[in-house]
Structure formats: structure tokens, C-alpha cells
């Protein structure tokens, strides 16, 4: 790759160079490959200075991008296995398909774009970066999400979400857009915001009050300043998936925020 | 407060779920006696008390209700003018309603809250270590003098291969089997997991310095790794638990081993909960959460509901660290511990850390600490047995913790099947702790379990580490003495050798579970 890089540096137009680099993305065929070998290859490639990886024929291999650091772009063709981008710190992963459970587990920085649906426990303990899922997601999305200083994790779900959304959420931003809802399909499942003590959850559309754990969080219509805050993120989401931002932002949003940063403070006999 | 207002409060309490404090006057636990003749009026006692139990009114005046009996004022009084003793209150004796039951109930009647406590279980359950005795040599099997002979305490933790293959060439014999990453300890003792947040940075630093000096390991607990302690990370188990505090790829790769914390002996099935007021700017930095926010680390890791899920996290951590670090799984000793341990080993753990019900805690509900879990002696025996029967004992090392008080306990644990023991409460005692059990208040007068800078600076990490180093050296020397008396020159020869243990005063069933013969039965 190093010789190609040297060659690309001679291109006069920066735009052309980018195109060239994209063309030259390193291709790894994951067909019938165990995750351990696949991930070892990815780590080797990144260590060797590769910045663009195309993973083709991915079929359930776990831990893709696990612990990878730096400005690396990966495109996953197929369905990656659980823990996609776990402990990841910087890279961008685009999944041209569905993803499974535990995407962005404890992710520190970076960006994961899933063009299809994704499973349960997404963004567990996520501290920074973005997770955009175009389709639907399962249970326990955004559990233990945290914000710290300049780190502000953002999870945006294009479709609907399952039970225990934003459970134990301690920081960051979680948005559910509810696009392409089937008739009667709820926007979120039950027990939403259980244990939530930080961050904010936005829902595009209405929900029944009983779905939200009122002991922990309060639901109210999003105000203009709230919408101004989420707009850049929704805009990035729309850009990533080719959606109409104006149409999406036209709908009413609900904001769900924690009542207390100390949810269990009064429980003890101190 | 007038009677009318009190009445109004009570009515409100019934109407809402909010608890209203209902003061109830009760006798204090301690009596604080001060000798006016001896007092130099230096006010040091007032300054030393972390609990604001002593005020100055032309002389020290104590509020016995606030005294926790930590003896800081007594020890630091230059005139030895202070005596703290149990309050010789007289309650009509009652075998069922013991004094502690009555006192606990009164506190709950006053506050309506869950009782909290610190350190390990203080109820008089049988201590099986005290029913086990080690063998010694006489006449037919010579003992070894550790003063003269080299004794081997070096211990390796991690996965061992099922079999070893070698290639023999002209240059010699080479190991052909790939050996999994492991840890080398100079002595079979580690420092138990204690997070920054539950203990002060100075306390953690003292422990880290001592681990480095002694060639053993310390454990970050679930509080992240403070910047100042990064130079000692290569001697640390870095924990990853449900709250994921301070967990990054760099953090995982900085440690010697990565530990998944499932449970803690003092509070099986209960998570960690560092109250917001203890999340100081420094703690916030290390845990990577905002200042003043509750640090919630619930008991279930909601991505782990099965052994398969645990395996997923174990391998996520191995992938994140390029398979260069052993992964440890820490669990509390509970009824089904043997089957759980088997699953953990099969899930890919390299080290299994079992914490018995007497293990310490920075904060736990009293009722949980005192009534849940099983003794480490039993748990260790059944886990070792189960793994042996399944032929997978070599796949993981066992660390036993939760009530190891001395080198003798350590030796007995090793004979029952532990590869090493972890010491938490013992380490804090070495730093000055007097076991007042008020860690959860964050007001530790000894500067150990507090984040108040006025209190934490009382603990000099270098002096503290010296005491810990002394403790580890003393226990190691005693272990050598024990091994010598038993006629073995390596701790490896004692490991899992229950034949070298005999029991006194235990019933048949317990003997069977421990796999130990009663004293009086020969070889």
C-alpha cells in the first residue's frame, strides 16, 4: 500500500486523490473465515497503515472493528456478528446490511452506520461517537450511555425501538425517528427510560405515557431550542442515508429527560 | 418541632411515597471519655475526627451518637487523654432480639431506608479456616529449613495447555505448543479489587506501589485507572463491569490482565453504586462520567444473561487486547458456584476469581452483606473439585478471596485448590483501617475510604506502600515456613493437596464437601 500512497501523492487534484484512495480500499474476503482470523487481518492492515477496508462476504463474524483506533474507514458487505465496533476508538464503519447485537459496545469515538436493522443492547456504555441505524432496533438500546467532557455519544434509530430503551442512560443523545412504521407498530417498547439518570431521549411522534418509567424520567414536547440541538445530528443521519431532513423535522418530537442525576439517593438510611 | 407539625408530616408521609424522617432517640454505640487533667487543649481530636463527632467548647465535647469507634482521635491525642469504649448500656437480654437487631430496627424506623454498611460480614458464622489444620513432617518425612533451602513461592496465573508438545532438534528442546498469556507472581498473593472512588487515590497508589515492589498484582476495581497510576498499570488487573467506568481500548491494553466483574462476595447479586457526592472532579476524570452524577453499576450486566453471553464479552476483550492479556472473571461465591465456575472456564476465562461471603465492600446493604452467599472455603473446594472432575482445571487459575486473614488462611486456601489468594480488608488494615465499617459514609478519618482532600492527605502512599510490602513479605516468609514444615519446597506442591489438610469439629457432610479428612485419620 505504501507505494500506492506515494503514487497517489502525485495527483494534482485532491478530489481525484480521494476517489483514487476509495478505489484502492483494501478488500478482505471474509467468506468462511473465522472471526479471529478476520479480525487479525483487520488489525494487521490497520497497523500497516491501511485507511480503507472493504470487508466482503461477511456472514456473522463477531467483533469487527473491536478496539481499533484511528482514522480508518471500513465497509462491511453482509451481516456482521455481535459486538461490531466494541471498544472502538475512532474508525468509521458502514454496514451494507443488517447488524446484530451489541453494536458500539463501550465505543469511545468513531461512527457506525447500519443501513438495515440492528439487534439488542446497542451502544452499551458508549461514551462517544455516533451510531446511526437506518432501520429498526431491538431491546436495551442506549443502555449505560455516558457523556464526558467533550465526549457526547449519539445514537439515532431510523425506525422503531424495543423495550428498555435508554435504560440506565447516564449521558448522551438518543433519537428514535419512527420512519416506515407499520400500522399499529409502537414507536418504542415498554419500560423506556428505566434507571435513566442523564442524557436525553427524543422520540419523533407520540407514545402512550405508560411506556416511560415515570419514576426516573419526564416526558414533554420538545421545544425549539431542543430541536435546534438535535437538528445537526438528524441532518448528519439524513445525509448518511439519503433522507429528507426537512420532512423528518416537520413532525412533533417528544423529549424524555431524567428527573434526577441521583435516582437512588433517597433509598438508604444514612 | 411542635406536635401539630409532626402530625402534619406524618399525614403527608402516608399520602405520598416519600419517607419522612421520624427521629427516635436511641443509645449510642460508644462512650467517649476524656481526661480533663491530661488534656493539653491542642484541639487535635477535633481536627482528627472525620465524622465531626467532637466539637470545641472550652474543651473537647463529643457527640457519642456520631462516634464510629475508629480511634483516630484516641491514637492522635498526644496526651493519651481519650478513651473510646463500648457504651455499657444495659438492655434486657433477649436471645432473639439481639442488641444489633434492635438498633438496626430503630434506625429504619427513623429513616425508612435500606441500611448500609462497609467492610465484610460481621456476624458469627462458622469460620472454616479455623476448623482446618495443616500437616507437618515428623521422623519419616523430613521437613525443610527455609533458612537454608531455597523455597519456591513463584506462581503463574492463566490458562495451561491440555498437553505440551516439544520439538527436539540438535540445538535442544523447544516448546511447540503455544502458551496462553499469563501472569507471574513472586508470591501467591494479590491485592483484591478496590476501586478509586471506594478508596482514596493515596490508598490505591500505596497498593499499586506495593504490588510493583513485591512482584504481585493489584486490581483497579470498577473505577477506571487514574492518570497518576498509569505507570503501575502493567501490574494491574483492569476491571470491566456493568457501568464500564473508564473503560477504553487504551485502558484495556494498559493492564496486565482484564477482569470482568460479575459479582462481589460482600454483595452477591447487588451492583455497585457510588453516590454522586463521592464523584469528585478527580473521580469523575478517572471514571469518565460527570462530576456529582451517580455512578451506577448494576448487578446484572444486561448484555450477559448466559454463559454464551459471557463468552461474547470475554472474547470482545480478548479481541480488543489482541489476545495478549489473560481475562479473569470475578464472581461471588453462591450456592451454585461450581456449575457457574465450570461455565466460566468453558466460556474462555483464563482466571477465575471467587469472592467468598466474608469479602469486604466500600458500601453494601447490611442485610445483603450479612445474609447472602457462601463461605470461600466451601466455594473453593467445590469449584476445584468440579473443574478437576470435568478435566478442565488446567484451563483457568483460581484466585480465592473473601476473608483471608493470614498466611495460614492463604496456605489452607492453596491446599483446598486456590492458585493464589487476594487480600482486600487485610491490605486496608495495613494502611491503618480499624474496621469501623463506615466506608460508605466517605468520611474515613484514616484517609482510606474517602475523597475529602483534608482526610486523604493523611495517608502517605509511600509510607502506606512500605507497610503493605512488609505485610506481603511477612506472609511470604511465613508461607515458606509452613511449606518447610510440611516438607515441600514449592507452593506448587501444596496446591490442591487436600491430603495435607485435616479438620476438627466439622460434620461429615462438610468434610465430604471440603474433601478433607477429620483429624485423627492418617494417610
Q: What ipTM was reported for this prediction?
A: 0.90
**Among A residues 104-123, those touching chain B with beta carbons less than 8 Å apart:** 105-106, 108, 121
User: Which residues in A lie closer than 8 A to residue B242 (C-beta atoms)?
Assistant: 144
Closest A-chain CA to B273: A264
Judged by CB atoms closer than 8 Å, whether chains meet at A143 and B108 is answered as no
Count Cβ neighbours within 10 Å for each residue of B11-32 and write b for 16 or more, e otherwise.
eeeeeeeeeeeeeeeeebbbbb
Judged by CB atoms closer than 8 Å, whether chains meet at A265 and B276 is answered as yes
Q: Which three cell numbers stand for residue A112?
A: 457506525
Give the rounded distance of the alpha carbon of B120 from its chain centre.
8
Domain spans of chain B?
21-113, 155-162+175-432+489-518
Report whether pLDDT(B9) > 60: no
User: Which residues in B lie closer than 8 A to residue A108 (C-beta atoms)?
Assistant: 248-249
Burial environment of residue B158 by CB neighbours within 10 A (0 to 12, 13 to 18, 19 or more): buried
Q: Distance between CA B162 and CA B256 in Å, rounded?
A: 23
Return mean pLDDT, chain A.
91
CA distance B445 to chain A (A): 17
CA distance A267 to chain B (A): 5
User: Which residues in B lie closer than 8 A to residue A261 (C-beta atoms)?
Assistant: 276, 290, 292-294
Query: Residue A114's beta-bridge partner residues?
Result: A95, A133
Judged by CB atoms closer than 8 Å, whether chains meet at B319 and A88 is answered as no
Q: Domain A117-262 maps to which CATH number in 3.30.365.10, 2.160.20.60, 3.40.30.10, 3.40.50.970?
A: 2.160.20.60
The pLDDT of residue A269 is: 77
What average pLDDT does the segment B360-384 reach?
Answer: 96
DSSP 8-class letter at B450: B
Closest B-chain CA to A263: B294
CA atoms within 13 A on the CB side of A166: 33
Query: Residue B84's beta-bridge partner residues?
Result: B32
The pLDDT of residue B22 is: 85
Q: What is the pLDDT of residues A139-151, one digit of tens each?
A: 999 999 999 999 9
Of A82, A86, A101, the CB nearest to B320: A86
Nearest-5° Cα angle at B318, B269 to B260 = 15
Report whether pLDDT(B275) > 90: no
- Write down the architecture of domain B155-162+175-432+489-518 according to CATH: Alpha-Beta Barrel (3.20)
Instruction: Give the other-Cβ count within 10 Å of B274's Cβ.
Output: 26
What average pLDDT does the segment B7-16 reach?
Answer: 40
Stated as kind and residue range, the H or E segment containing B430 is: helix B425-430
Pick the closest to residue B240 from A118, A83, A141 (CA basis): A83
Hey, what CATH topology would domain B21-113 get? Answer: Alpha-Beta Plaits (3.30.70)
User: Which residues in A lie closer than 8 A to residue B103 (C-beta atoms)?
Assistant: none
Please provide the DSSP assignment of B81-143 as one string: -EEEEE--------SSS-HHHHHHHHHHHHH-SB-EE-SS--S----GGGGEEE----TTS--
Q: What is the pLDDT of residues A92-131, one digit of tens each?
A: 999 999 999 999 999 999 999 999 999 999 999 999 999 9
Interface mutation target, options B19, B249, B277, B439, chain A, most CBs of A under 10 Å: B249
Pick the closest to residue B379 from B427, B350, B342 (CA basis): B342
The pLDDT of residue A226 is: 97
Report whether pLDDT(B109) > 80: yes
**Among B residues 421-460, those touching chain A with beta carbons less than 8 Å apart:** 440-441
- Please give the model's pTM, rounded to 2 decimal places: 0.93
Interface mutation target, options B17, B320, B327, B364, chain A, most CBs of A under 10 Å: B320
The pLDDT of residue B401 is: 98
E strands present in B430-505:
501-503
Of A197, A198, A269, the CB nearest to B107: A269
Count Cβ neighbours within 10 Å for each residue of A12-37 and write b for 16 or more, e otherwise.
eeeeeeeeebeebbbebebeebebee
Judged by CB atoms closer than 8 Å, whether chains meet at A108 and B298 is answered as no
Please provide the DSSP assignment of A67-108 as one string: T-BSS-EEEEEEE--SSTTTT-EEEEEEEES---SSTTTT--
Yes or no: say if A197 and A258 are a contact pair by the CB < 8 Å rule: yes
Least confident of A8-12, B329-333, B381-385: A8-12
Q: A171 in contact with B at a CB cutoff of 8 Å?
A: yes
Q: B19 in contact with A at a CB cutoff of 8 Å?
A: yes
Q: What percent of chain A has pLDDT over 70?
A: 91
Q: A41 in contact with B at a CB cutoff of 8 Å?
A: no
Q: What is the pLDDT of residues B425-446, one digit of tens each?
A: 999 999 999 999 999 999 999 9
Report whether pLDDT(B3) > 60: no
Q: B24 in contact with A at a CB cutoff of 8 Å?
A: no
Interface mutation target, options A106, A162, A260, chain B, most CBs of B under 10 Å: A106
Pick the closest to residue B289 from A168, A163, A175, A212 (CA basis): A168
Pick the closest to residue B249 from A214, A48, A65 (CA basis): A65
Of A66, A164, A264, the CB nearest to B294: A264
Yes or no: say if A45 and A53 are a contact pair by the CB < 8 Å rule: yes
Q: What is the pLDDT of residues B54-85, one digit of tens each?
A: 999 999 999 998 999 999 999 999 999 999 99
User: Which residues in A lie closer than 8 A to residue B296 (C-beta atoms)?
Assistant: 144, 168, 170, 195, 197, 263-264
What average pLDDT does the segment B371-393 reach?
Answer: 98
Q: How confident is the model at residue B16 (pLDDT cuts 50, 70, 90)?
A: very low
Pick the closest to residue B471 from B400, B402, B404, B406 (CA basis): B406
Return mean pLDDT, chain B.
93
Please provide the distance, in angstroms rounded to a whole number, between the alpha carbons at the two ends of chain B. Answer: 73
**Among B residues 41-100, those touching chain A with beta carbons less than 8 Å apart:** none
Q: B319 in contact with A at a CB cutoff of 8 Å?
A: yes
Yes or no: say if B373 and B268 are a contact pair by the CB < 8 Å rule: yes
What average pLDDT does the segment B259-277 reach?
Answer: 89
Domain spans of chain A?
117-262
Q: How confident is the model at residue A3 (pLDDT cuts 50, 70, 90)?
A: very low
- B461-486 vs B201-214: helix crossing angle, rounded to 10: 40
Amino acid at each position: 500500500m505504501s507505494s500506492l500512497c506515494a503514487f497517489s501523492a502525485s495527483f494534482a487534484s485532491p478530489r481525484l486523490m480521494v476517489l483514487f484512495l476509495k478505489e484502492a480500499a483494501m478488500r478482505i474476503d471474509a467468506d468462511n473465515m473465522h472471526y479471529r482470523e478476520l479480525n487479525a487481518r483487520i488489525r494487521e492492515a490497520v497497523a500497516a497503515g491501511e485507511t480503507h477496508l472493504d470487508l466482503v462476504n461477511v456472514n456473522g463474524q463477531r467483533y469487527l472493528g473491536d478496539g481499533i483506533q484511528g482514522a480508518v474507514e471500513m465497509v462491511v458487505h453482509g451481516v456482521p456478528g455481535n459486538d461490531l465496533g466494541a471498544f472502538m476508538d475512532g474508525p468509521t464503519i458502514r454496514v451494507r446490511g443488517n447488524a446484530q447485537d451489541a453494536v458500539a459496545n463501550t465505543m469511545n469515538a468513531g461512527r457506525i452506520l447500519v443501513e438495515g436493522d440492528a439487534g439488542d443492547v446497542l451502544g452499551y456504555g458508549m461514551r462517544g461517537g455516533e451510531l446511526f441505524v437506518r432501520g429498526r432496533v431491538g431491546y436495551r438500546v442506549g443502555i449505560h450511555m455516558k457523556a464526558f467532557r467533550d465526549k457526547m455519544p449519539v445514537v439515532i434509530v431510523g425506525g422503531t425501538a424495543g423495550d428498555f430503551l435508554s435504560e440506565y442512560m447516564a449521558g448522551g443523545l438518543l433519537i428514535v425517528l419512527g420512519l416506515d412504521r407499520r400500522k399499529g407498530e409502537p414507536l418504542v417498547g415498554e419500560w423506556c427510560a428505566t434507571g435513566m439518570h442523564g442524557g436525553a431521549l427524543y422520540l419523533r411522534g407520540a407514545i402512550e405515557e405508560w411506556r416511560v418509567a415515570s419514576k426516573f424520567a419526564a416526558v414533554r414536547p420538545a421545544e425549539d431550542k431542543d430541536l435546534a440541538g438535535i437538528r445537526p445530528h438528524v441532518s448528519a443521519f439524513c445525509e448518511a442515508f439519503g433522507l429528507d431532513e426537512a420532512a423528518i423535522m416537520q413532525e412533533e418530537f417528544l423529549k424524555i429527560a431524567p428527573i434526577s442525576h441521583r435516582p437512588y439517593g433517597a433509598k438508604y438510611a444514612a | 418541632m411542635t406536635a401539630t407539625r409532626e402530625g402534619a408530616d406524618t399525614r403527608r408521609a402516608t399520602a405520598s411515597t416519600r419517607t419522612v424522617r421520624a427521629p427516635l432517640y436511641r443509645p449510642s454505640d460508644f462512650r467517649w471519655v476524656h481526661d480533663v487533667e491530661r488534656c493539653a487543649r491542642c484541639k487535635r481530636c477535633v481536627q482528627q475526627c472525620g465524622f465531626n463527632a467532637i466539637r470545641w467548647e472550652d474543651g473537647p465535647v463529643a457527640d457519642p451518637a456520631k462516634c464510629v469507634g475508629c480511634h483516630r482521635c484516641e491514637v492522635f491525642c498526644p496526651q493519651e487523654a481519650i478513651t473510646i469504649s463500648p457504651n455499657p448500656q444495659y438492655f434486657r437480654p433477649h436471645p432473639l432480639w439481639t442488641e444489633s437487631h434492635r438498633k438496626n430496627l430503630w434506625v429504619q424506623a427513623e429513616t425508612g431506608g435500606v441500611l448500609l454498611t462497609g467492610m465484610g460480614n460481621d456476624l458469627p458464622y462458622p469460620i472454616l479456616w479455623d476448623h482446618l489444620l495443616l500437616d507437618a513432617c515428623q521422623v519419616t518425612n523430613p521437613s525443610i529449613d527455609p533458612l537454608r533451602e531455597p523455597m519456591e513461592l513463584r506462581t503463574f496465573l492463566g490458562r495451561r495447555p491440555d498437553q505440551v508438545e516439544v520439538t527436539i532438534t540438535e540445538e535442544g528442546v523447544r516448546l511447540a505448543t503455544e502458551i496462553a498469556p499469563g501472569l507471574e507472581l513472586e508470591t501467591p498473593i494479590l491485592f483484591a479489587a478496590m476501586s478509586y472512588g471506594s478508596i482514596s487515590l493515596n490508598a490505591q497508589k500505596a497498593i499499586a506501589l506495593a504490588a510493583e515492589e513485591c512482584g504481585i498484582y493489584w486490581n483497579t476495581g470498577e473505577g477506571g485507572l487514574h492518570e497518576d497510576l498509569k505507570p503501575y498499570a502493567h501490574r494491574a488487573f483492569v476491571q470491566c463491569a456493568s457501568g464500564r467506568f473508564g473503560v477504553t481500548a487504551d485502558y484495556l491494553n494498559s493492564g496486565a490482565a482484564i477482569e470482568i466483574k460479575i459479582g462481589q462476595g460482600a454483595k452477591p447479586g447487588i451492583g455497585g453504586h457510588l453516590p454522586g457526592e463521592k464523584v469528585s472532579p478527580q473521580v469523575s476524570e478517572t471514571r469518565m462520567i460527570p462530576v456529582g452524577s451517580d455512578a451506577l453499576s448494576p448487578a446484572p450486566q444486561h448484555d450477559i444473561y448466559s454463559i454464551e453471553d459471557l463468552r461474547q464479552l470475554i472474547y470482545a476483550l480478548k479481541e480488543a487486547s489482541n489476545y495478549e492479556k489473560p481475562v479473569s472473571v470475578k464472581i461471588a461465591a453462591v450456592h451454585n458456584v461450581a456449575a457457574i465456575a465450570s461455565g466460566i472456564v468453558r466460556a474462555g476465562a483464563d482466571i477465575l476469581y471467587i469472592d467468598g461471603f466474608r469479602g469486604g465492600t466500600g458500601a453494601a446493604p447490611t442485610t445483603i452483606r450479612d445474609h447472602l452467599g457462601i463461605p470461600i472455603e466451601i466455594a473453593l473446594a467445590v469449584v476445584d473439585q468440579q473443574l478437576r472432575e470435568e478435566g478442565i482445571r488446567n484451563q483457568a487459575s483460581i484466585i480465592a478471596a473473601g476473608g483471608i486473614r493470614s498466611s495460614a488462611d492463604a496456605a489452607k486456601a492453596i491446599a483446598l485448590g486456590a492458585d493464589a489468594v487476594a487480600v482486600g480488608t487485610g491490605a486496608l488494615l495495613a494502611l491503618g483501617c480499624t474496621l469501623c465499617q463506615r466506608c460508605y459514609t466517605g468520611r474515613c478519618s484514616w484517609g482510606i475510604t474517602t475523597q475529602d482532600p483534608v482526610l486523604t492527605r493523611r495517608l502517605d502512599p509511600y509510607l502506606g506502600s512500605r507497610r503493605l510490602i512488609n505485610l506481603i513479605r511477612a506472609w511470604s516468609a511465613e508461607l515458606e515456613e509452613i511449606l518447610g514444615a510440611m516438607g515441600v519446597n514449592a507452593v506448587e506442591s501444596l496446591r490442591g493437596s487436600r491430603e495435607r489438610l485435616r479438620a476438627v469439629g466439622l460434620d461429615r457432610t462438610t468434610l465430604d464437601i471440603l474433601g478433607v479428612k477429620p483429624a485423627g485419620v492418617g494417610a
